[in-house]
Chains A and B, each alone.
Chain A
Amino acid sequence: MTDAHPRRASDLLGRTATGPDGEPLGRVVDLICEPDADGVPVVTAALVVRGRWGRLLGYEREQVDGPWLVEALARRALRHSQTTVPWADLRLAGPA
């Protein structure tokens, strides 16, 4: 990715993300990590959401499951706009 070395997670979260061709994808709301050989979490992808909702109340994980009314509302706000972008493909626009 083409960006100065980030120092804190808050520098990355909330930034506008664009794909490899420069098309806007939305805003970064989370960073997905996998543990490396030493168990240290390494960022492999970013969760990008189009639209205004940053905080997702937890429904992006399968572990949170119901009540159906709240979950249905939350998913409706997220469903069509959530994408996972591999870190290598991510371009970040200016400051949050």
Chain B
Amino acid sequence: MPLLVAFDLLDRQIVDSEGIPVGKVDDVELAVDDAGRPRVEALLTGQQALGARFGGTLGRWITSVAARLDTDHRGPRRIPYRLVSEVDSAVRLRVRRELLAEPPLEAWLNEHLIGRIPGAGDD
């Protein structure tokens, strides 16, 4: 069954090997092979990628807020396609979330807000 980039990938939920949400497929990175055909190289996730896709004033605002939180200037989170194990109702990865880069907003909130409230870490 052929894969449809917009339908099967874009705006689908990415989940890790345990089923925990990782992010949405906000965009897809393509690389062009020698025959001139694009191939799916990586999934891009995060508000920076979403804002870029939106375009317009709203998109630029989303991207700039997200970029400011991205203190290491890494750009949108990139998940190489080889980490994908299957695509059905969600895009399922072979690995656990912990092995991927932590989302900038999540890291910032853990440091400045949530992490400081008692009871945040234990079950």
The reply to whether chain A is a binding partner of chain B is yes
List A contacts of B4 (CB < 8 A): 30-33, 47, 60-61
Interface residue B122 (Cβ < 8 Å from any Cβ of A): no
Are B29 and A31 in touch, CB under 8 angstroms? no
Asked if B81 and A31 sit within 8 Å, CB to CB, the answer is no
| Closest residue of B by beta carbon distance from A60 | B7
Q: Which B residues are closer than 8 A to A by beta carbons?
A: 2-7, 9-10, 27-30, 32-33, 36-40, 44, 52-53, 81-82
| Complex CA distance for A54 and B39, rounded to whole angstroms | 22
- How many CB-defined contacts (below 8 Å) exist between A and B? 84
How many Å lie between the Cα of A31 and that of B10 in the bound state?
Answer: 11
A44 located at the interface, meaning its Cβ lies under 8 Å from any Cβ of chain B in the complex: yes
Pairwise interchain contact B39-A42, C-beta atoms closer than 8 A: yes
Q: Is the CB–CB distance between A8 and B44 below 8 Å?
A: yes
Q: Do the beta carbons of A36 and B29 come within 8 Å of each other? A: no
Besides A5-B32, A9-B6, A34-B2, 15 other CB < 8 A contacts?
A6-B38, A7-B30, A8-B44, A10-B28, A13-B6, A29-B6, A30-B6, A33-B39, A40-B39, A40-B40, A41-B39, A42-B33, A42-B38, A42-B40, A56-B7
With both chains docked as a complex, state the minimum distance between the C-beta of A61 and any C-beta of chain B, in angstroms: 7
Given A31-B6, A87-B37, A40–B32 Cβ distance below 8 Å? no
